[in-house]
Amino acid sequence: ETGVTQTPRHLVMGMTNKKSLKCEQHLGHNAMYWYKQSAKKPLELMFVYSLEERVENNSVPSRFSPECPNSSHLFLHLHTLQPEDSALYLCASSQDGGGGRSIQYFGAGTRLSVL
């Protein structure tokens, strides 16, 4: 148990569906992250929120829309996805935005399949 919980763990959706991924951290951190992990490829940083403000948007298509209502919760809203978006989506949190010895703690991820 890392203190970062993601739901659902698995999601299958059609290209016309709208769904949301949820992440909750119980560590008292003030920064949260979304990553995409595809097979045999490095983790790709998608979004960073620090103190509930988006500070990084790594050229992610607009069909992915993040939301951070408070420092403990992070959502990723999905709509009109493509089959190549099928991947493991990981959420992470850290104390401060990445300075010093800041360590990111990860959730177990949502395995997304787009049909």
Would you call 84 helix, strand, or coil by DSSP? helix
d(CA 110, CA 23): 10
Neighbouring-strand partners of residue 4: 25
> Residue 23 CB, nearest distance to another protein (Å)?
11
Q: Are 93 and 27 in contact (CB under 8 A)?
A: yes
Task: Please report, as residue ranges, which positions from 58 to 97 form the binding site for another protein (by CB under 8 A).
Answer: 90, 97
**In the stretch 3-32, what mask flags binding to another protein with x, by CB under 8 A?**
-x----------------------------
Provide the binding-site residues for another protein, judged by CB under 8 A.
2, 4, 40-43, 45, 48, 56, 90, 97-99, 101, 103-109
